[in-house]
A and B are shown apart, each in its own frame.
Chain A
Amino acid sequence: MDKRILEQHNLTEEEYRGIVDILGREPNLTELGIFSVMWSEHCSYKSSKIYLKNLPTTGKHVIQGPGENAGVIDIGDGLAVVFKIESHNHPSYIEPYQGAATGVGGILRDIFTMGARPIAVLDSLRFGPLDNPKNRVIMEGVISGIAGYGNSIGVPTVGGETYFNQCYSQNPLVNVCCIGIAPKNRIFYARAKGKGNPVLYVGAKTGRDGIHGATMASAEFDEDLEEKRPNVQVGDPFKEKLLLEACLEVMKKDLIVGIQDMGAAGLTCSTSEMADKANSGIEIDLDLVPKREEGMNSYEIMLSESQERMLLVAKADKEEEVKKIFKKWDLDAITIGRVTDTGRLIVKEKGRVVVDIPVRGIVRDCPVYRRPVKQPSYLREVNYLEIPEVPNDLNTTFLKLLSSPTIADKEWIFRQYDHMVQINTVLLPGADATVLRIKGTKKALAGTVDGNSLYTYLNPKVGAKIAVAEACRNLACVGAKPLGVTNCLNFGNPEKPEIMWQFKEVVEGMGEACRFFGIPVTGGNVSFYNETMGSAVYPTPVLGIVGLIEDISKIMSPGFKEKGDYILLLGKNNEEIGGTEYLKTIFSQERGIPPEINLEFEKQIQDFCFELIDKRLINSAHDVSEGGLAVCLAECCFMSEKKLGIEVSLEDDIRPVALLFGETQSRIIISASPSDIDKIEKLASKRGIPCQVIGRVREDKFIIKQKGEELINLSIEKIYSSWKQAIPNYFKLSEE
């Protein structure tokens, strides 16, 4: 085979020799295309597999761990939660609107393929700094894309997080997490079982869009970026809405044996994976595949990533009934082939066999790499921190920090999303975690996505542990117990030993923390090659964690409730300033060592917070994260309905900036009625938890003192408008 053709397919010569071995002959071009997508990093996890297998994946309530379209966990009452996170980074850079929109479409299909109705989407977004107009264009496009798809299909986008950093300027990250609910005894899997059963193609027609999308996501970008635009798919949320309703209707009856969506690598991936999982084979006829345009060849049809398509295997005698339901929803359902017992994927076109491959060969025999790892040299440089001079005016510093886009209010973003449809959203976006009631039960689900990549850049392992800890802390703050994790790991080029080292460290840290907290990892996604022109993103693990609230009447929220309530700090203030938003925003320094994390202590704090909520002793809870104590306290004021203020006095013997803006972990700010303080303090001393009253909720003013000296004294109005206006202001500029 021509070297150039192999290069175009991102296959090495060694991999090619493997293909020839599997087939016992040279592949034709269509077969080569099939191998190239299935063996792409995106589909095969060939560089990440050896590390991922060490993650904890089992647990008492796990119904389905990694390896299916999504993870499934039992939540009682005959119900299961189905959830998964996926990246759509590369397409979103090339074509922000469609890239992000089809990211939402793809993850929704992963959820309803399993038989669940999607009830919420959370997204984790990373953009470059907003003073660069290009980044504003990308951000606007991505957000409109998420809104355009999610709003139309009627799945609320209920939360998420958005960070800004230079490293994402040419590599924006778009990670979308979807949560669904299914009857526990009606989960569907991607299995082509039963020789002779019909294989049905349903949904949109196949076009030339998205050919080699998965391969594109498995390479760095260079200056030919514009040429890749046709690799991005175009979404049709209306079609997907019909597909969703039709599939769920089919699933209510006993009509199908297996179902898989056509996402990355389209028809190729769905046919071969379904056959592989059932130890069967599949034979399809491309002449029967509904096509959007004339003259498509077998290569294009097999590799198309046209959206809103599903492959399902019906019970032999139920074929007509299935078709009838799809017809009701004005969708095509066409039998394009049959299940066989040959273990082969056979594709025919105009009566000729154009593909004949053992499914095992494409799905399982992909080479697995233990790529070289090397600790990057930048670490020594950036871990060293010369502490900058303390600013004179802490009030001004504080206002500047509040208006840093990473910290500032994100309402400009989430009011573009329909976050209320399906009427389950009990805690609106902006809280520590989103909370969704489960109709017909007393329960609620909580969800959060988290990951501070500045920490992982400075210390991948510690950063990953913090990501897990913080996600769990967010759940504790709303009164939820974690059920399971889905993760999206965004990295640069794994062929570079330094990147691979970051990956290894992150997975190890994440595994350690998940094991410690006893939360199974039920699935996820690895996105490598987030590099443009040789410049990679910071290692960015994003943790999506779903938790359960047994009694919906006990939900906690972050905002202060009443003037006169006491404010308490759970945890300790340490002198830690490395890797903070303060250093980044005020001094443009992304340096130092990230805050320490002691998982044991973290767990005690979380459990105690949960206990206080469970005993109905507190009125609010909010975790301390980016921006430190000062920003946390401000957020508690902003999220109070009456825009309350505070007066806080701290006695810690550490430098004022570290006290105000340091990001020491394992801290939660709570507030409680004066009558409950005694009980809380007694309980804290019984449990051995550091818990101190630091001030009271008041009106109008935001005052923080240290040892009697005022560090910050501002009006609530002033700090609120800095926080509220920061992001809209960037876009006002671009509109003018």
Chain B
Amino acid sequence: MKNKKNMKFGVVIFPGSNCDYDTYYVLKEVLNQDTIFLWHKDHDLKGVDAIILPGGFSYGDYLRTGAIAKFSPLMREVKEFALKGGLVLGICNGFQILLEMGLLPGAMLRNKNLKFLCQFVYLRVENPDTPFTKLCKKHQVLKIPIAHFDGNYYAPPEIMEKLKRNNQIVLRYSTSKGEITEEANVNGSMENIAGIINEKGNVMGLMPHPERASEKILGSEDGQYIFKSMINSWIK
């Protein structure tokens, strides 16, 4: 499988996904990766090497963010793929879906100011030893925007303990200098958590949008670290 020239990405389209084209564009046009869309009603992963659950409002975020998307037909295959060790990245709504599916622990509450927040934030890389951050240095600061209403990460104490113990906290909201402060924690997440990974280290979710920060003209290219790390770890 790995003698193919390029890695193949699959971006899942749910009804209500709205960052599907953005993610596709960055992978395909900016990073020149073999990229296809996967339709949520299918049962076919079409031989992709990594799956991205993009941002948006799957099923309108009605009921609860990500709660209905987990029942989409394709999710059966996605779950199998993840359990077998395949790379799965959930961005924003995709992260919320991964939480609902139980592939990642914890839950999302409304932002602490009870408003939708769209802005650039700074993220400190806590764990560079993952397939999604391996090109980063420990405590490197990334500038990537967020855009969500429900990004206030919550986990009960025993899970939080486990996340810390296993080094599963990958990204935390910080200042531009990498300080972890209350003020930098715009949505009120526990422990400033912006992104976590599963125990096995192949499924990651993050609230910020790396696809919105992968071109200089958009104000930051730091998002490329995430995608390029995935590519790099697949090649090796």
**Chain A residues in the interface with B (C-beta under 8 A):** 144, 147, 151-154, 236-239, 241-242, 328-330, 414-423, 425-426, 428, 437, 439, 552
Contacts and interface: CB of A to CB of B under 8 A. Distances in A.
Contacts, number: 84
Contact of A423 (B115, B118, B212): B212
5 contacts: A153-B57, A238-B57, A421-B18, A423-B26, A426-B218
A423 B21 CA distance: 9
A345 to B, nearest CB: 34
Contact of A437 (B16, B29, B212, B217): B217
B56 A154 contact: yes
Contacts of A236: 60
A418 B18 CA distance: 11
B19 interface: yes
Given A152-B61, A236-B60, A237-B57, A421 B19 contact: yes
A590 B3 CA distance: 74
B233 to A, nearest CB: 24
A423 B18 contact: no
A238 B217 contact: no
Contacts of B57: 151-154, 237-238, 241
A361 B212 CA distance: 51
B59 interface: yes
Closest 4 CB pairs of A and B: A154-B18, A238-B60, A152-B57, A418-B147
B16 A238 contact: yes
A641 B115 CA distance: 25
A718 B66 CA distance: 43
B215 interface: yes
Contact of A421 (B16, B25, B26, B147): B147
B116 interface: yes
A420 B217 contact: no
B56 A420 contact: no
Interface SS of chain B: mixed
Interface centre among B18, B56, B115, B145 (most CB of A within 10 A): B18
A238 B15 contact: yes
Contacts of A417: 116, 118
B86 to A, nearest CB: 26
B15 to A, nearest CB: 6
Given A153-B18, A241-B15, A415-B119, A420 B61 contact: no
Nearest to B217: A426
Contacts of A151: 57, 116, 118, 147, 149
A5 B14 CA distance: 48
Given A418-B147, A437-B217, A152 B19 contact: no
B211 interface: yes
B67 interface: no
Given A154-B57, A236-B60, A423-B22, 18 more contacts: A152-B16, A152-B18, A153-B18, A153-B57, A154-B19, A238-B60, A241-B16, A241-B18, A241-B57, A241-B60, A330-B15, A415-B117, A418-B147, A420-B212, A421-B212, A423-B211, A423-B212, A426-B218
Given A151-B57, A151-B147, A237-B57, A422 B22 contact: yes
A121 to B, nearest CB: 13
Between A152, A328, A329, A422, the greatest number of chain B beta carbons within 10 A of the residue's beta carbon is seen for A152
Contacts of A414: 118
Nearest to A417: B118
A623 B121 CA distance: 29
Contacts of B117: 415-416
Contacts of B119: 415
Interface of B: 15-16, 18-19, 21-22, 25-26, 29, 41, 55-57, 59-62, 115-119, 145, 147, 149, 209, 211-212, 215, 217-219
A420 B147 contact: yes
B183 to A, nearest CB: 14
Contacts of A154: 18-19, 56-57
A147 B149 CA distance: 10
A328 B40 CA distance: 11
A135 B99 CA distance: 39
Contacts of B25: 423, 439
Nearest to A444: B217
Contacts of A152: 16, 18, 57, 60-61
A416 B21 CA distance: 22
A237 B60 contact: yes
B116 A421 contact: no
Nearest to B26: A423
B219 to A, nearest CB: 8
Contact of B59 (A238, A423, A426): A238
A434 to B, nearest CB: 14
Contacts of A439: 25, 29
B218 A425 contact: yes
Contacts of B16: 152, 238, 241-242
A428 B218 CA distance: 9
A330 B55 CA distance: 20
Contacts of B212: 420-421, 423
Contact of B217 (A237, A241, A552): A552
Contacts of B56: 154
A153 B58 CA distance: 10
Nearest to B13: A245
Contacts of A437: 217
B170 to A, nearest CB: 22
A480 to B, nearest CB: 16
A423 B209 CA distance: 10
A416 B116 contact: yes
Contacts of A238: 15-16, 57, 59-62
Contacts of B147: 151, 418, 420-421
A435 to B, nearest CB: 10
Contact of B118 (A144, A329, A420, A426): A420
A147 B116 contact: yes
Contacts of A426: 217-218
Contacts of A420: 118, 145, 147, 209, 212, 218
A465 to B, nearest CB: 35
Given A151-B147, A241-B16, A419 B60 contact: no
B18 A415 contact: no
A237 B61 CA distance: 10
Given A241-B57, A423-B215, A418 B116 contact: yes
Contacts of A418: 116, 118, 147
A420 B148 CA distance: 12
Contacts of A330: 15
Interface-central residue, B29, B62, B118, B217, by most chain A CB under 10 Å: B118
Contacts of A422: 21-22
B31 to A, nearest CB: 13
Contact of B22 (A144, A153, A239, A421): A421
Of listed B19, B26, B149, B217, residue having the most chain A CB within 10 A: B217
Nearest to A435: B217
A148 to B, nearest CB: 8
A416 B115 contact: yes
Nearest to A412: B115
Nearest to A421: B18
A469 to B, nearest CB: 29
A239 B60 CA distance: 8
Contacts of A239: 60
B67 to A, nearest CB: 13
Among A144, A147, A154, A241, max chain B CB count under 10 A is at A154
Nearest to B147: A418
